[in-house]
Chain A
Amino acid sequence: MDYFLFSVAAIIAVVSAVLVIVQRNPMHSALYLIITLLCIAVLYLQLSAQFVAAVQVIVYAGAIMVLFLFVLMLLDQENPIDTPSTLRYQNPVAAVMGLLLLVELLFLSARAQPPAVLTSGAPGSSPGFPGSVESVAESMFTRYLFPFELTSVLLLIGMVGVIVLAKRKL
């Protein structure tokens, strides 16, 4: 049953991810991207990572997608600029990087053990199982305290960057 659900969600995610890049209309791409993001949330749930699944929906499907849609609105969709890309070297570099990532993934998935949650079946609703909000909080505010605080600096830099860019021209 778990395997079946995983396969369905994974296949839908991959298919709609492919559809995202083959669509001519950017809005249709956006629509398929939402499906991909929601399917990934389902995969997180299967790993019993409830918190991460909720965050996936809130931040990616709810916030980043809105940002994407706003960016699409910002562009002049009727008269797309049809000049050749100024970053000509981008394509080969992207291909090499993508290939590297694929090799890395294959290598890791050949070696890695499946997480304990998957093999031992879905955990009960007892608080504190790996993936619950409690356990995420536990490690975030003790073991990973410094990275957590650094995140706020990262977010601050993002915010300042936006303001500087928006204030300059446009």
Chain B
Amino acid sequence: MTLTGIAEFIASFFGLPGSSSVWIVAVLAAAILLGFMLLTVLILIYVLRKLLGKIQARLGPTRTGPKGIFQTAADALKLLIKEDTIPVKADRRVFIVAPILVFVPAYLVYVVVPFGEGNHFIAKDLNIGLLYIVAVSSINVIGVVLAGWASENKYSLLGGMRSAAQLISYEVPQALAVLGPVMLAESLSMQDIVKAQGEGLFSWFIFRSLPLLGFIVFLVASMAEINHVPFDLPEGESELVAGFNVEYSGMRFAFFMLAEFAASFTICAIAATLFLGGWHSPIRGFLDNGWWTVFWFFLKSSALVCLLMWIRATYPRVRVDQLMEFGWKLMIPLALFNVLVVGLYVALGKGG
């Protein structure tokens, strides 16, 4: 039963005009993706803790439920019933708005994530898809700075400013690295980019024109964008307590966490879409339709998620000066070099 079918059923059940079913579809899609986002965050945190445990030769959570599978659910419940404090000195208005500016953009990215083939597995395939992602994810910097500032706390302000400096430094290489696939696919639409990689493993953009470079630059820059280890300076607890969100507690704090973990999934999903053939099967025409495409998509994104977790367990945190110089003196030149090489390749009419 498709979403449209359910929507028409709901519309007729409540005696609504037939034209409203389009809107019901949209609301259902938004609700499903919101639920999906929360679910992935729950699973992601659990897997992360278990995997980190394995890598560090310990067990991870074990007490809540069999093998501790209810650990994150319990954490979520704890945050929900925790007292919500707003410091007296804080600027209430800005303090309340800041989590919204961080959470909503992270959720909006899901509009254009292609989970599978066709129109059923994507909320809306906007024809400026990739540019839309860049636009939406550029908003959260403001939320971070405002959260740090509104708390009236030196640690959070320092954390917010450092975080913002980091976010803006890596936004440029991230936005430049996705241009390779755009040039090769001639489109900004996510589905078009996936469709251009349908010829099996070696038609994936990670292997075309200049192999690997764009993918690596994108992944590293994105890790910096989501404060992932080794770029987790904003929350360096030894020097900043916890970064821009020190004063946030309970659900308000949870929204920052949700946004961060949701972003770590969307980053992997976007990387898989742009460079690893998205929902296409690695062998041309082999199990490459219907729900199988959803399977391939999740296989690829989860593999990347696990890669990020592995990195998280392996690398120590970098210093702030190393972070900034790495961004400006290595990532941006590399990203520009990638754009020019892929550009030359396309301009010469190759790979068409």
**A–B touching in complex (CB under 8 Å):** yes
Q: Which residues of A pack against B, CB within 8 Å? A: 25, 27-28, 30-31, 34, 50-51, 54, 57-58, 61-63, 65-66, 69-70, 73, 125, 127, 132-133
What CA separation (Å) do A133 and B132 show in the bound complex?
A: 12
Q: In the complex where A27-B146, A28-B94, A69-B145 touch, is A63 in contact with B128 (Cβ < 8 A)?
A: no
What CA separation (Å) do A57 and B188 show in the bound complex?
A: 17
Chain A's interface: helix, strand, loop or mixed, by majority?
helix
What CA separation (Å) do A58 and B175 show in the bound complex?
A: 11
Q: A31-B146, A54-B128, A73-B149 are in contact. List 11 more A-B contacts (CB 8 A).
A: A30-B146, A31-B97, A51-B131, A57-B135, A58-B134, A62-B141, A63-B138, A65-B142, A66-B164, A127-B127, A133-B128
Q: Are A27 and B131 in contact (CB under 8 A)?
A: no
Q: Which residues of B pack against A, CB within 8 Å? A: 91, 93-94, 97, 101, 127-128, 131-132, 134-136, 138-139, 141-142, 145-146, 149-150, 157, 161, 164, 168, 171, 188
What CA separation (Å) do A160 and B149 show in the bound complex?
A: 30
Q: In the complex where A27-B94, A62-B141 touch, is A54 in contact with B127 (Cβ < 8 A)?
A: no
Residues in A whose Cβ lies below 8 Å from that of B146: 27, 30-31, 69
Cβ distance A81 to chain B, nearest Cβ, rounded Å: 20
Q: Are B164 and A70 in contact (CB under 8 A)?
A: yes
What CA separation (Å) do A65 and B167 show in the bound complex?
A: 14
In the complex, 13 of the A-B residue pairs with CB atoms within 8 angstroms, ordered by the A residue number, are A27-B91, A27-B150, A28-B93, A51-B128, A51-B131, A57-B135, A57-B138, A57-B139, A62-B139, A66-B141, A66-B145, A70-B145, A132-B127
Residues in B whose Cβ lies below 8 Å from that of A65: 142
Q: Are A57 and B164 in contact (CB under 8 A)?
A: no
Residues in A whose Cβ lies below 8 Å from that of B161: 70, 73
Q: In the complex where A51-B131, A66-B168, A133-B131 touch, is A31 in contact with B139 (Cβ < 8 A)?
A: no
What CA separation (Å) do A63 and B157 show in the bound complex?
A: 19
Q: Are A27 and B149 in contact (CB under 8 A)?
A: yes
Q: Which residue of A lies closest to B188 (CB)?
A: A133
What CA separation (Å) do A31 and B91 show in the bound complex?
A: 12
Cβ distance A135 to chain B, nearest Cβ, rounded Å: 12
Cβ distance B102 to chain A, nearest Cβ, rounded Å: 13
Cβ distance A105 to chain B, nearest Cβ, rounded Å: 28
What CA separation (Å) do A25 and B188 show in the bound complex?
A: 40
What CA separation (Å) do A58 and B136 show in the bound complex?
A: 8
Q: Which residue of A lies closest to B133 (CB)?
A: A54
Residues in B whose Cβ lies below 8 Å from that of A58: 131, 134-135, 138
Residues in A whose Cβ lies below 8 Å from that of B101: 34
Cβ distance A52 to chain B, nearest Cβ, rounded Å: 11
Q: In the complex where A65-B142, A70-B164, A133-B188 touch, is A54 in contact with B149 (Cβ < 8 A)?
A: no
Q: In the complex where A27-B91, A66-B164, A73-B161 touch, is A61 in contact with B139 (Cβ < 8 A)?
A: yes
